[in-house]
Amino acid sequence: MKVAIIGQGYVGLTISAYAGEHYEVCGFDNNLSVVHQLNKGISHIEGVKSSDLQNCINAGRYRATNTGSDIADVDIVVIAVPTPLSKDRKPDLTFIDAACKTIGDNIKKSVLVINESTSFPGTLRNYIKPRIEKYSGLVVEHLYAISPERVDPGREDYNQKNTPRLYAGLTPEASKRTREFYSKFCDNLIEVSSPEVAEAAKLFENTFRQVNIALVNEFAQIAHSLGINVYETLDAANTKPYGFMKFTPSAGVGGHCIPVDPTYLAAVAEENGAPATFIRRANEVNLEMSEYIVDRIQADNGGSLQGKSVLIVGVAYKPNVADVRETAAELVIKHLRDRGAVVSWHDEVVSTWHGVSSAPLSGADIAVVITKHDVVSEQDILASAPYVFDTSGKVAGAKGL
């Protein structure tokens, strides 16, 4: 059984590593330097060990490519390309379209096409299938299925094997073949009644997180205005054994999923005349956190940040990963600079960002912790500046939310 996985990023390479233990995998990516690196057995993704990749290569079960004709003879194609927002914050399916073109142009026999990229309900049926048919000139009839990805990069307790996976095919045969494919490396496969249910479930999972993060971010502001400690209050609420789930405040949400996926849900809701007010507002509350934090820091520092040196500690969007996509650090830095601060950043895991290298963890007037990686000690952070504001809730003794 040969499998092509289109997109060799967080999702695609992770699936490649698991699938590569059972199938012959062709990792297709249009980034040539990623392809070269992968073929040398070097993983660029947390959670995928280079040694595992190398083992698959040595066994002849993994090869990366950016040549379309290399996927011509596969039996299954998995789509794992980005689904970002456009400049006007609308769903942007151009990467999916390009993946459909690669499939349509190169695969002339019937295969199973599984989409793992996150998108709104109807994407598989009304977008992917018609586009592949258009690009292939309707030479063949493929099977189509969806199985939304739930990988959480950097997480060790849940992986592809023990994370339950939803799936649904456009036909019973597509569902059956999808189950057979994943059952080799996933223990808990849950079939739902339609691809649209699987697509919507994925969006709702991340919208649930976005809304709860916004709620706790708003609550952090309320708690501060009341002069009570937000973390102690949350711990107190969390003693209730049912009906409560603890989320913690932050400088905002980051990564490819939480700031993006709810907007896909809101867009499709509004297109269909349904309200998405709650989702839209949650997004705004999370985006506004950066300005609230800078207001607090300014108030604590004599009402002006003009000329102050500010060190941002941790620019990754979450601890222990190098991923800076949609990081809340970006907006915090913007507001600090707008107010005249001289900003640099330190991150032990992210070595370069926007072409700039990580600065030393010392010598600033003000340090602002956005993300605390485990390798950075609280003591070193506290010693880096006379005033430290912590948005992560992990640096005891600092000012914070």
Ligand X SMILES: NC(=O)c1ccc[n+]([C@@H]2O[C@H](COP(=O)([O-])OP(=O)(O)OC[C@H]3O[C@@H](n4cnc5c(N)ncnc54)[C@H](O)[C@@H]3O)[C@@H](O)[C@H]2O)c1
The two beta strands, 189-191 and 165-169, are parallel
Say which residues have a Cβ less than 8 Å from residue 370's Cβ, sequence separation at least 6: 251, 312, 313, 314, 315, 327, 328, 329, 332, 391, 392
What DSSP string describes 57-80?
A: HHTT-EEEE--GGGGTT-SEEEE-
Interface mask toward ligand X for 49-88; x: CB under 6 A: -------------------------------xxxx-----
104 touches ligand X (CB under 6 A): no
| 391 lies in the binding site for ligand X (CB under 6 A) | no
- We find the least distance from the C-beta atom of residue 188 to ligand X, in angstroms, to be 17
Residue 192 CA to residue 198 CA, distance in Å, equals 7
Give whichever of 159 and 344 is closer to ligand X, judged by the CB atom.
Answer: 159
Pick the binder of ligand X from 3, 4, 5, 8 (CB under 6 A).
8
Tell me how far apart the 2 most distant CA atoms of the chain are, in Å: 70
| Residue number, nearest CB to ligand X | 9
Residue 311 binding ligand X, by CB under 6 A: no
Which DSSP category does 318 fall into? S
- Is 30 near ligand X (CB under 6 A)? yes
Q: What angle do CA 294, 295, 298 make, to 5 degrees?
A: 85
Cα(324)–Cα(258) distance, rounded to whole angstroms?
A: 13
Of 85-93, 146-154, 229-237, 332-340, the segment contacting ligand X by CB under 6 A is 146-154
**213: closest CA among 269, 151, 258?**
258
Pick the stretch among 30-38, 314-322, 327-335, 373-381 that binds ligand X (CB under 6 A). 30-38
Does 181 engage in binding with ligand X (CB under 6 A)? no
Cα separation, 82 vs 119, whole angstroms = 10
**Residue number with CB closer to ligand X (45 or 234):** 45
SS3 of 263-292:
HHHHHHHHHCCCCCHHHHHHHHHHHHHHHH
Give the DSSP H/E element, type plus range, for residue 2. strand 2-6
Which residues inside 150-179 make contact with ligand X, applying CB under 6 A? 151, 153
Catalytic pick among 56, 100, 186, 257: 257
Write down the least CB distance from residue 119 to ligand X, Å.
7
Residue (24 or 116) nearer to ligand X, CB: 116
Q: Is 100 an annotated catalytic residue?
A: no
Can residue 95 be called a binding residue for ligand X (CB under 6 A)?
A: yes
Contact with ligand X (CB under 6 A) among 43, 65, 117, 391: 117
Q: Which one among 3, 4, 5, 6 touches ligand X, defined by CB under 6 A? A: 6
Q: Which amino acids are annotated catalytic? A: 257
User: Which residues contact ligand X (rule: CB under 6 A)?
Assistant: 6-12, 28-31, 34, 80-83, 95, 98-99, 102, 116-118, 149, 151, 153, 256-257
